[in-house]
Amino acid sequence: MKLSKRLETVASMVTKGNRAADVGCDHGFVPIFLVESGTSPLAVAADVRPGPLSRAKEHIREHGLEEKIQTRLSDGLANIKPGEADSLIMSGIGGILMMRLLQDEEHTAKSFKELILSPQSELFDVRRYLVSNGYLIEYEHMLCDEGKYYFIFHVIIKKDEREWSYEEYRYGKDICKDDMKTFLAYLEKEERQYEQILEKMKQAPENDRAVQRIAQLHQDITCLKKRRQLVYDCGCFA
């Protein structure tokens, strides 16, 4: 099973020997890869949509893995039992939805040994939710796949006693050192985009909303510059 760069990174973060549950499995490629590669002895492929789940079943049949990969029609973790799997995978899901799914079935979510999470949006909010609700983001992978940047969190159930700054919630606290060049390229791209937006805002008619937006953009640009300097200071490019 050949995976995209993003899904291959997601799969690589699953601890060998762990049973995996892929929630929002789409075509079922990650569970198939995990079982075929010997990473996971068993897996559950779950999706709330009958169409993608049907395609996942077909792919699982094609690979002869019906005995090792169960398919489950499930809204998030609703039809996943605590203790049924060791590694939870949620990838390609919006941040707001991801937080809701974790909150709705919190007991099940906290029964996993590890969570591999790759929210498509609301990264700041997802990080803050995890830190505030008894999860520890051990590390984050950062990658670019087909021109799009992705953050992938490796999370365990443990209270995070560390202080988090605004920029850490925004751009991550423990990015893997091997990913720093990609991370730097992402920060530079974000900074250019914010600078362009700021210039346009300065030319627009002034009102309270515009003033607030300009102030926020200045904060975001300052945050990006600070984070970029930290990347240089870490010595990853020596």
β-bridge mates for residue 70, sequence order? 44
CATH code where residue 96 lies: 3.40.50.150
| Mean predicted lDDT score pLDDT of the chain | 93
Task: Pick the range with the lowest mean pLDDT from 11-25, 56-70, 189-203, 220-234.
Answer: 220-234
Same domain, 44 and 154: yes
Who wins on pLDDT, 181 or 206?
Answer: 181
Please say if the pLDDT value at position 223 is more than 70. Answer: yes
**Averaged over 102-128, what is the pLDDT?**
97
Question: Are 112 and 88 in contact, with CB atoms under 8 Å apart?
Answer: yes
pLDDT value at position 233?
75
> Residue 96 falls within a domain, yes or no?
yes
For residue 156, CA distances in Å to 4, 111, 159 come to 25, 10, 9
Q: Are residues 57 and 78 in the same domain?
A: yes
Mean pLDDT (whole number) for 206-218: 84
Give burial (CB, 10 Å; 0-12/13-18/19+) of 137: buried
Alpha-carbon gap, residue 71 to 21, rounded angstroms: 10
pLDDT for 73 equals 96
Decide the pairing of beta strands 114-119 and 87-93: parallel
Q: What type of residue sits at position 183? A: F
In DSSP terms, 151 is beta-bridged to: 142
Element (H, E) at 140: strand 135-145
Of 199 and 234, more confident: 199
1: pLDDT strictly greater than 90: no
Q: How many domains does the chain have?
A: 2
Residues 203 and 224 reside in one and the same domain: yes
Tens of pLDDT along 37-54?
999 999 999 999 999 999
- pLDDT for 237 equals 53
Tell whether pTM > 0.75: yes
For residues 197-220, give the mean pLDDT: 85
Q: List the 114-119 sheet strands across, edge first.
A: 69-73, 43-47, 20-23, 87-93, 114-119, 148-157, 135-145
When pLDDT is cut at 50, 70 and 90, the band that residue 207 belongs to is: confident
> How far is residue 221's CA from residue 198's CA, in Å, rounded to a whole number?
9
* Same domain as 58, residue 15: yes
> Domain for residue 223, yes or no?
yes
What average pLDDT score do residues 4-15 get? Answer: 97
Structural domain containing residue 229: 181-233
Residue 125 has pLDDT above 90, yes or no: yes
197 & 92 share domain = no
CA 156 vs. chain centroid, Å, equals: 14
Give the pLDDT confidence score for residue 46 in this predicted structure.
97
Residue 157 burial class via C-beta count within 10 angstroms: exposed 0-12, middle 13-18, buried 19 and up: middle
pLDDT at 208: 78
Same domain, 10 and 83: yes
Domain boundary among 143, 160, 175: 175
The predicted structure's pLDDT at residue 20: 98
pLDDT the model gives residue 201: 84
Angle between the N-to-C axes of helices 208-233 and 180-203, in degrees from 0 to 180, rounded to the nearest 10: 160
Residue 109 has pLDDT above 80, yes or no: yes
Q: Is it the case that residue 236 has pLDDT exceeding 70?
A: no
Q: Residue 236, SS3?
A: coil
Based on the domain organization, do 201 and 150 belong to the same domain? Answer: no
Q: What is the mean pLDDT of residues 155-164?
A: 95
Name the maximum alpha-carbon separation found in the chain.
64
| The pLDDT value given to residue 235 | 62
SS3 108: helix
Rounded CA-CA distance 215/195 in Å is: 12
Distance separating alpha carbons of residues 105 and 112, to the nearest angstrom: 12
Do both 131 and 227 map to the same domain? no
